[in-house]
Structure 1
C-alpha cells in the first residue's frame, strides 16, 4: 500500500508532466488586480500560448514552489515587491535567463544582477500631507524625523514589505547607524500606531488623524481616476512631495517576475516576460493600474501624469535587497510596530 507521501509525490509529478506543453505557460502571481486580465488575454491572442494562472499571497506561493520542488509546474513567478522576489531567488526558486529583449528594455537598476528577475512596472513611494494644516511639508525622507512633525506621521507597519524596502534604501544611502537614529525619531513622530494599507494612510489625512503620510503613488493616482472611498471626495485637500529631489531621488517599488528554476515551459516563460516589456503591456500597466512603466518612452496614464515629473532613485534594487535583514533589525530596535 502506497504511503500518503508517495501518492502526493506521484500526483505532483503527474501535474508537472501535464503542465509541459508547446502552447502553455504556468504563472504563479501575487498581483491581485482585475485589470491584469487584459494583459493575459492580449498575450494569449498574440501568441496562441494559454496562461494557466494561480494567484495568491506571495509568501504562500513561495512556500508552494518550495514544497513542489523539481516537480513544480510553475514557469513564471510574479510579485509586487523587491523583498519577496529576492526571497524567491535566495531560496533557489528562480533561474538566470538570457534575453536580448529584456536586457535592452529594462533599465539595469530594475533587474537582478544575475538576470533572475526583472521589473515590469514601478511605483514611487512618496510623502503626502494635509494642505490645510501643513505649510512646511517634509521634502526628504530624512525630514520625517524632525521634531516639528511630532504626532503628525502615519505610516505602515514594520512587517510591511514597503516599509522594509524604504528602510533598506535608507541604509544604502545613509548607512546603518544613521538609519537607526532616523527610524527611532520617526517612531517618535507617529500620529498613531502603524496600521492598514497605503489607502488607509491617505484616509488618515482626510479624517484628520494624520497630517503627513507615506504611500505608493498608484494608490493616490487611482483615487484621481475613480472613486476611492474616504479619499476621492477630499482629494483636493491632499498635497504630495516627491522626496529627495536634490540628492538621491524618490524611492521606487516594483512589480516584477522571473522564470522558475524547474520551469517545464521555459521558452514560453521567457516569451511571457518579454511580452510584459512590450509597448502594449507597458501601456496597460499604467492605463489599467496607475503604475509607472519601466520601459523608457512608454506612455503614462493621465492619472499618473497628474502627479508630475520627478527624479527617481536609481540605486540598483539588488543593492537595496541586500539590506532587508538589516532594515528588519533596525525597525525592531526602533519599536516600529
Structure 2
C-alpha cells in the first residue's frame, strides 16, 4: 500500500508530460474571425498539431512580443495590413524563411524578403450614392479631390493603417507633392470629420449623409451577401467602383503571416505557414471573410467575390507600401487630415 502514492504520482507525471509533449504551434493574430478558428481546427485534424491562439489588436501584440523577447512562446504572427507587417519587420520580429512551394503559390509582390507572406487580398474601393453620382463622375482616387465632391467625401480616420497604406501607395504612385495636394483637397471635400469604420462609411453613403467614401472591399461584399433588412436597404443606394483601372490599378492590401525569430516550435510553424497557402485553406479565407486568395487564379466558393475578381490590381510591393507610412502620416498632419 505504501507504494500507492508513488504509483499515483508517476501516473500523474506521465499524464502531465503527455500534455506538455503534444505538438503545438502558438499563433499571435490581430484577426478575430470565426473562419480563422475553423482553419486552425482543420490544420489540427490533418496534422495532429494543436493551434494555440492569442488574438489582440496589432499594437498590443507587437508590444507583447517586444516585452517577451527571446522567451516568447509565439511561433507565428498574423497581421492584417502592410503597414503593420512592416513595423513588425523593422522591429526584427520575423525569422527569414524560404520555401519553394510557398514561393510558387504566392506572388512576389505579396511577399516580404523572406520575412512574411500575404495570405489574403482586399481592395481599397470607392462607394458612392447612386442618387447623386454615377461612374462617369470619377475613375481614380485623385478624382475624389475634385470640387464636384465638395462636402461629400467621408472616410475613417487617416491614422488607421488601412488609410495610411492607401496614402502610402499614392505617395509611391504620384509622388509626395501630388499626394499632399490630393490629401488637402480631400480634407476640403469632407462631409464630416473622419469617424467610425469602413462599414459606417458605407451606411453613411446609403443614408445620404455622404456622397462618396472609401472602404475595404470585404466590408462591401459582406453587406452584398447579407440577408438582413437593414443591409439590403443600405445597398439599394450604393454604387461602387475599383479606382485607377486605366493607370496604376486599384490599391490592394494583405493579411500576412510570418514565422517569429524565436519560434520554439519551428517545424510546426513551417508546416502551418505552408498549410495557410494551400488551395482549400485559401478558399476558406475567401468564403468566410470575403477576401480574395493570395494564390493567383484560384476560384473560390464565394460567387460575389469571384464575380468581382477581374480588376487591375496595383502591383506595388506591399513591403514598399508599409515603408511609406510615416511619410503618409506626416502629410496627413500637415494638411489637417484627422
Are the counterparts in 2 of residues 80 and 256 from structure 1 also a CA contact under 8 Å?
Answer: yes
Are the counterparts in 2 of residues 218 and 290 from structure 1 also a CA contact under 8 Å?
Answer: yes
The alpha-carbon distance between structure 1 residues 232 and 253, as it changes in their structure 2 partners (threshold 3 A), is farther
Distance between the aligned counterparts of 1:306 and 1:336, measured in 2? 34
Residue 282 of structure 2 corresponds to 282
- Greater mean deviation of Cα atoms: 228-237 or 327-336: 228-237
Q: Does 1:102 align with 2:102?
A: yes
Distance between the aligned counterparts of 1:183 and 1:28, measured in 2? 34
Q: Does 1:305 align with 2:306?
A: yes
Distance between the aligned counterparts of 1:236 and 1:145, measured in 2? 25
Task: Give the number of the structure whose alpha-carbon radius of gyration is greater.
Answer: 2
Distance between the aligned counterparts of 1:183 and 1:264, measured in 2? 45
Are the counterparts in 1 of residues 121 and 252 from structure 2 also a CA contact under 8 Å?
Answer: yes
CA deviations on 1:151-182 (whole Å, 9 max, x unpaired) are 11111112110110000000000111111111
- 1:187-202 matches, cutoff 5 A: 187-202=187-202
Length-normalised TM-score, structure 1: 0.91
Distance between the aligned counterparts of 1:320 and 1:228, measured in 2? 36
Residue 126 of structure 1 corresponds to 125
CA deviations on 1:32-56 (whole Å, 9 max, x unpaired) are 1112221111111111110011101
- 1:173-252 matches, cutoff 5 A: 173-227=173-227, 230-252=230-252
**Displacement, 1:233?**
2.2
Distance between the aligned counterparts of 1:138 and 1:252, measured in 2? 19
**Displacement, 1:230?**
4.5
The alpha-carbon distance between structure 1 residues 260 and 82, as it changes in their structure 2 partners (threshold 3 A), is same
Are the counterparts in 2 of residues 129 and 205 from structure 1 also a CA contact under 8 Å?
Answer: yes
The alpha-carbon distance between structure 1 residues 281 and 62, as it changes in their structure 2 partners (threshold 3 A), is same
**Displacement, 1:326?**
0.4
The alpha-carbon distance between structure 1 residues 115 and 20, as it changes in their structure 2 partners (threshold 3 A), is farther
Distance between the aligned counterparts of 1:305 and 1:225, measured in 2? 13
**Displacement, 1:229?**
7.2
Are the counterparts in 2 of residues 129 and 137 from structure 1 also a CA contact under 8 Å?
Answer: no
- 1:21-32 matches, cutoff 5 A: 23-32=23-32
Distance between the aligned counterparts of 1:232 and 1:268, measured in 2? 44
- 1:54-73 matches, cutoff 5 A: 54-73=54-73
Query: How many equivalent residue pairs?
Result: 319
CA deviations on 1:205-232 (whole Å, 9 max, x unpaired) are 1111001011011001111112467433
Q: Which ranges in structure 1 are unaligned for 5 or more consecutive residues?
A: 1-17
**Displacement, 1:236?**
2.7
CA deviations on 1:176-204 (whole Å, 9 max, x unpaired) are 11111110011101111000000000000
Are the counterparts in 2 of residues 23 and 50 from structure 1 also a CA contact under 8 Å?
Answer: yes
Residue 256 of structure 1 corresponds to 256
Residue 315 of structure 2 corresponds to 314
Alpha-carbon RMSD: 1.6
Residue 115 of structure 1 corresponds to 114
Are the counterparts in 1 of residues 95 and 261 from structure 2 also a CA contact under 8 Å?
Answer: yes
Q: Does 1:76 align with 2:76?
A: yes
Q: Which ranges in structure 2 are unaligned for 5 or more consecutive residues?
A: 1-17
- Greater mean deviation of Cα atoms: 272-281 or 301-310: 301-310
Equivalent position SS for 2:137: coil
Equivalent position SS for 1:231: helix
Distance between the aligned counterparts of 1:229 and 1:80, measured in 2? 29
Distance between the aligned counterparts of 1:255 and 1:191, measured in 2? 30
Residue 10 of structure 2 corresponds to none
